[in-house]
Structure 1
Amino acid sequence: MNLNDVSLFIRIVETGSFTSAAESLGIQKSTISRRIAQLEDELGVRLLQRTTRKLKLTGDGEELFARCQPLINELDTAKDHLSATQNNPRGRLRITMPSELGVFMMNEVVGTFMKRYPQIMLEVELSTRVIDLIEEGIDLAIRVGELADSSLIARRVASVSRGLYASPAYLAKHGTPKTPDDLQNHECYGILKAIEHWEFANWDEAVEVTGHLKANSISFIRELLLQDMGIARMPRVFCCNNVQQGNLVEVLSEYSPPPIEVNALYPSRRHLNPKVRLFIDHMMEMIGDHPWASEQMVTPISNHNHD
């Protein structure tokens, strides 16, 4: 029995389709179909029932998956560890992160990592969409903000300080808020939320704010602020140049919003991929002095046990 074909079968079941498996592995769908057919011929059983809409395991397929998935994962882990201990670790590492985090904070991390480990093939998706890491074969996700409950392992990377900003023209027209409660009389922009409860230092209760804008880009929101449209919570470093130029003003600075966390997430169903370990350790070396990171949150991941 060809273990490479078994590994393909495991990936198909994990991702839910031949197409997803082919995309995650970077090979042709026809190649996967041919090799699974060869595996079925070799074993003399049908492993998968194929329809136009879904894929279903046969009884024999369920047994093969249950028996072989742990073994294939252990083999993958062993190969990754051997690669990581070489002078030139190699292989593919798939990462996803929000676009602006990638462009403004993680670009130097990625660039220096590539120079440090030139044999590792990086695939970086810049996106805020919700991704099933296991289904899509993603090794690591970098996320900003509150995390949903999941089976993923989360490691806090950094804390980014925030402030409230508006243009001088907006404040001249609508007034400058003196306390967080005053924000209820203003257009307040958040990230993909029309109604939010904003918390503040030195203020006992969260304040419900409203606005007429939904966006998943802080760059886009900043452009609206520059058009005198409202007040928004933003990373301080993202607006510091505008403040210096005089086209944005920080308001309620004595009632600062809590910082927002940057987290690294990876699947918990297997041992930590050593290439993920290498990337996170490298990221922690680089990110501590970055102006976005007001506080480094964790020590290098190599100091932790992830079994």
Structure 2
Amino acid sequence: MNLNDVSLFIRIVETGSFTSAAESLGIQKSTISRRIAQLEDDLGVRLLQRTTRKLKLTDDGEELFARCQPLINELDTAKDYLSSTQINPRGRLKITMPSDLGVFMMNEVVGTFMKRYPLIMLEVELSTRLIDLIEEGVDLAIRVGELADSSLIARRVATVSRGLYASPAYLKQHGTPKTPDDLQNHECYGVLKAVDLWEFDNWDEAVEVKGKLKANSISFIREILLQDMGIARMPKVFCRDSVQQGKLVEILESYVSSPIEVNALYPSRRHLNPKVRLFIDHMMEMIGDHPWVTEQMIVPVAGPKKY
């Protein structure tokens, strides 16, 4: 029995299909099919019932998966650990993060990480979509904002300070809000979710804002603000240049907008992949020197927790 073939079998079951396993591992689907057939021949049993629509484990397949999954996971962890302790760690590291965070901050982290560990192959997906890290073979997710309930481990990387911004022309036409409650009479643009509540540290109740636009990109929302279209809550440093140029104005400055968290997420069902640990440690080191921090707009924090 070839352990590499057993590892492929485990991956197929975890991802739910030959196609997903092939994509996550970067190999041909036909190669996986051939190796699983060889594994079944070696064992003399059928492990998977394959149809055009779904994949189902046989009784023997369920038994092999239950017994071998923990062993394969431990072997993978051991290989990752040994790789990370080498002078030149190697292997694949797949990361997902929001586009704005990647372009305006994490690009420096990724670039310097590549120089520091040239034998680690990085795959970075810039997206805000919620994904199953295990199913899609993603090692680490960097997320901004509230976290949904999950079995993942979350490590808070930073806290981002925010403010409310609008163009001078918009405020001249529609008036400048005096209190957070006044925001209910304005076009307020925010993130893609059913209810958008804006909280302030020194205001008793959260304000439910409404507007004709929601988006998953702060770059996009900022461009809409520059067209004199409404009010948005943005990272302060992200609007700094526009404010200095007189294109945007920060409003309600005496009412402190609740900051937003940046978290690193990784699966909790196995020990932390050492390459993930290397990236997180490097990220924390780089964030400490980032311009956002020197302006006290991001405060690094530590301490992983399950959520």
Give the TM interval when normalised to the shorter protein. Answer: over 0.9
Asked whether the equivalents of residues 163 and 251 of structure 1 are also in contact (C-alpha less than 8 Å), the reply is yes
* Aligned counterparts of 2:218 and 2:194: Cα–Cα separation in 1: 15
Say whether residues 1:36 and 2:40 are aligned partners: no
Counterparts of residues 97-176 of structure 1 (less than 5 Å): 97-176=97-176
Asked whether the equivalents of residues 48 and 57 of structure 1 are also in contact (C-alpha less than 8 Å), the reply is yes
TM-score (structure 2 length as normaliser): 0.96
Hey, what does 1:198 align to over in structure 2? 198
Corresponding letter in the other structure for 1:198: W
After superposition, give the CA deviation of every residue in 1:204-256 in whole Å (9 maximum; x if it has no partner). Answer: 11112110102111111001100011000000010000000000000001102
Of the candidates 292, 297, 300, which is equivalent to residue 301 of structure 2?
297
Corresponding letter in the other structure for 2:216: N
* Aligned counterparts of 1:197 and 1:31: Cα–Cα separation in 2: 50
Asked whether the equivalents of residues 195 and 211 of structure 1 are also in contact (C-alpha less than 8 Å), the reply is no
Report the number of matched residues. Answer: 302
* Aligned counterparts of 1:167 and 1:193: Cα–Cα separation in 2: 24
Counterparts of residues 183-262 of structure 1 (less than 5 Å): 183-193=183-193, 195-262=195-262
After superposition, give the CA deviation of every residue in 1:256-287 in whole Å (9 maximum; x if it has no partner). Answer: 21110000000001010000000000000001
Corresponding letter in the other structure for 1:221: I
Corresponding letter in the other structure for 2:299: E
Hey, what does 1:91 align to over in structure 2? 91
Asked whether the equivalents of residues 145 and 262 of structure 1 are also in contact (C-alpha less than 8 Å), the reply is yes
* Aligned counterparts of 2:193 and 2:250: Cα–Cα separation in 1: 21
Corresponding letter in the other structure for 1:183: L
After superposition, give the CA deviation of every residue in 1:42-98 in whole Å (9 maximum; x if it has no partner). Answer: 111100011111110000000000000000001101101100100000000000000
Asked whether the equivalents of residues 194 and 213 of structure 1 are also in contact (C-alpha less than 8 Å), the reply is no
Asked whether the equivalents of residues 237 and 291 of structure 1 are also in contact (C-alpha less than 8 Å), the reply is no
Corresponding letter in the other structure for 1:247: K
- Counterpart of 1:136 in 2: which secondary structure? coil
More divergent stretch after superposition (207-216 vs 141-150): 207-216
* Aligned counterparts of 2:151 and 2:75: Cα–Cα separation in 1: 22
Q: Give 1:292 shift.
A: 3.6
Q: Give 1:289 shift.
A: 2.7
* Aligned counterparts of 1:57 and 1:207: Cα–Cα separation in 2: 51
* Aligned counterparts of 2:140 and 2:58: Cα–Cα separation in 1: 32
Hey, what does 2:78 align to over in structure 1? 78
- Counterpart of 2:158 in 1: which secondary structure? strand
- Counterpart of 1:133 in 2: which secondary structure? coil
Q: Give 1:201 shift.
A: 2.2
Corresponding letter in the other structure for 2:283: M
Counterparts of residues 43-82 of structure 1 (less than 5 Å): 43-82=43-82
Q: Which runs of 5+ in 2 are unaligned?
A: none
